[in-house]
């Protein structure tokens, strides 16, 4: 049973999907602690309502010293015996310090089919680019933002008339499916180094016949 920390900054709907999944019998991971960098993160109250230990470790007192904030988080993770970290709407860019300490043990969820549309405003950008497929990715965290290897992805269509909000809602429903799946794989030691077919939860179209 792997001990997991979830780091959040906001509402925590992905956190909730992980709390629900890990409460299922036989799930190979348990949530040891939920950590937020903001006291007003909505997910903190929800985690407490589920009986999960929570910590607020604000970044503001450290000013521009990101590494000092991360050292505090790292110490808390170690004190809680954490083995895997899930970033779930954690809105801080990590420095090489925390990424290095948790290399191969830290996951993030991003609302696009990476490597397409890393960074912010993914849904606006996907619609503006005329993308026909959108989706979400759970990936290992590396130093480059949203660049680490994908563990699980799900695709959804971009429909005529979609707004960033309607597309975000369709993608979010899939986020809540793939994060519990990805954490299960990670807890079982799966690295996700296989091909796209093993990372994508949606069925892929059959390959065209070879001439």
Judged by CB under 6 A, does residue 109 bind ligand GRF? yes
Tokens of 116: 């397409």
At residue 9, the 3 state secondary structure works out as coil
Query: Considering only residues 32, 33, 86, 88, which one is a binding residue for ligand GRF as defined by CB under 6 A?
Result: 88
Binding of residue 89 to ligand GRF (CB under 6 A): yes
Query: Would you call 123 a catalytic residue per the annotation?
Result: no
Burial letters for 25-41: b for 16+ Cβ neighbours within 10 Å, e otherwise? eebebebbbbbbbbeeb
Which C-beta is closer to ligand GRF: that of 75 or that of 133? 133
Q: Does 180 bind ligand GRF (CB under 6 A)?
A: no
Catalytic entry in 50, 59, 69, 110: 110
Mask 1-20, x = binds ligand GRF (CB under 6 A)? -------x-xxxxxx-----
Q: Which one of 110, 123, 170, 184 is in contact with ligand GRF (CB under 6 A)?
A: 110
Element (H, E) at 206: none
Residues 144-173 binding ligand GRF (CB under 6 A) are 172
Break the chain down into helix, strand, coil percent, rounded to 5.
35, 20, 45
> By C-beta, is 109 or 185 nearer to ligand GRF?
109
10 Å CB burial of residue 8 (0-12, 13-18, 19+) is buried
Could you tell me how many residues of this chain bind ligand GRF (CB under 6 A)? 14
Out of 175, 180, 185, 192, point to the residue binding ligand GRF (CB under 6 A). 175
For ligand GRF, which is the closer residue by CB, 77 or 90? 90
Tell the burial category of 5 from Cβ atoms under 10 Å away from its Cβ (0-12, 13-18, 19+).
buried
Find how far residue 197's CA is from the centre of its chain: 20
Residues that bind ligand GRF (CB under 6 A): 8, 10-15, 88-89, 109-111, 172, 175
- Among all residues, which ones are annotated catalytic? 110
């Amino acid at each position: 049973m792997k001990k997991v920390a979830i780091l959040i900054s906001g509402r925590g709907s992905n956190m909730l999907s992980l709390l629900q999944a890990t409460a299922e019998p036989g799930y190979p991971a348990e949530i040891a602690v939920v950590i937020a960098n903001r006291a007003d993160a909505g997910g903190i109250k929800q985690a407490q309502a589920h009986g999960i230990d929570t910590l607020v470790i604000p970044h503001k007192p450290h000013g521009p010293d990101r590494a000092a904030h991360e050292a505090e988080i790292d110490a808390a993770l170690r004190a809680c015996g954490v083995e895997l970290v899930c970033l779930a709407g954690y809105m801080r860019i990590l420095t090489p310090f925390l990424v290095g300490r948790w290399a191969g043990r830290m996951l993030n969820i991003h609302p696009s089919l990476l490597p397409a549309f890393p960074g912010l405003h993914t849904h606006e950008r996907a619609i503006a680019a005329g993308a026909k497929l959108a989706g979400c990715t759970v990936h290992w965290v590396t130093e480059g933002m949203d660049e680490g290897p994908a563990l699980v992805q799900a695709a959804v269509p971009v429909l005529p008339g979609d707004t960033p909000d309607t597309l975000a809602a369709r993608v979010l429903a899939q986020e809540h499916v793939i994060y519990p799946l990805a954490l299960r794989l990670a807890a079982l030691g799966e690295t996700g180094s296989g091909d796209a077919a093993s990372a994508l939860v949606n069925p892929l179209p059959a390959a065209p016949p070879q001439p």
